[in-house]
Amino acid sequence: MENMVRVLSTLALKGASESLAKIFQAASGVQIAADFAPTLNLLERLKKGEAADIVILTQEGLSGLAAQGAVVPESCVDLARSFVGVAVKAGSPHPDITTEPALRAVLLGARSVAYSRLGASGIYFAQLIAKLGIADQINARATIVPIGFTAERLITDEADLAIQQISELKQVRGVEIVGPVPLHLQSPAVFSAGRLAIATKTKEADMLLAFLSSARVVPVLRESGLESMA
């Protein structure tokens, strides 16, 4: 379809996507057709030949594609960063997770912790519980989510705690954000965008990349739980 850019994006940007798409279309007349999935899932789909104009991934994932020539290096821009957080079902007590010992105790005391298998937050959390020495105990009763939003498992009472990027936790109704995992235990995930070498809508794609990396998107990203890099 003319005047439409196809975007493959990490789940972290999904919360901001509707508002951003409306603003961009009003200003440019170009529509956005977006599909959202974890970075590792998108990388696999691209490897199998799926077509798109723009891809939004973790900074590491995008850099890898640029190094391979699958993404045009000079088109790459950093869009936002996000911290991993903890959520509970709405109305549930908010546990203390402000220190490493407190977080460790809360995780061990949970009936089940939901975290993702493929997303950046899931990879981080698997490394964190290993570092804390509690991986076996947590994984013995964890609810590991293959794809999608971990906080949905709070609504179905499959888990007491959900771990994911705060921007992803905020997309599930009926849950509350307890807060971020202590910041000294994590580094923010940076999400970046670039134009695929196989893009057919290069002009429109470059317009969208310029928009996504501009100051206009800052309030929308902040509302969705992300920190803008603009």
Residues 221, 225, 230, CA angle at the centre, nearest 5°? 35
- Rounded to two decimals, the pTM is 0.85
CA–CA dist 5, 192 (Å, integer): 17
- 65 and 117 in a single domain? The answer is no
- 178 and 217 in a single domain? The answer is no
- 99 and 178 in a single domain? The answer is yes
Domain extent, residue 67, equals: 4-81+189-228
CA–CA dist 226, 222 (Å, integer): 5
**For 106-116, what is each residue's pLDDT tens digit?**
999 999 999 99
- 77 and 90 in a single domain? The answer is no
To the nearest whole number, what is the mean pLDDT of the chain? 95
- 212 and 177 in a single domain? The answer is no
- 171 and 198 in a single domain? The answer is no
Domain boundary among 185, 203, 219: 185
Give pLDDT, residue 155: 98
pLDDT confidence bin for 230, thresholds 50/70/90? confident
Is pLDDT above 80 for 1? no
- 73 and 127 in a single domain? The answer is no
Q: Domain holding 122: CATH number?
A: 3.40.190.10
Q: DSSP characters for 55-78?
A: EEEEHHHHHHHHHHTSB-GGG-EE
- 140 and 181 in a single domain? The answer is yes
- 127 and 91 in a single domain? The answer is yes
- 129 and 201 in a single domain? The answer is no
**For 58-105, what is each residue's pLDDT tens digit?**
999 999 999 999 999 999 999 999 999 999 999 999 999 999 999 999
- 125 and 137 in a single domain? The answer is yes
Is pLDDT above 90 for 219? yes
Could you give the dihedral angle defined by the CA atoms of residues 144, 147, 152 and 156, in that order, rounded to the nearest 10 degrees? -60
Looking at the structure of the chain, the number of domains it has is: 2
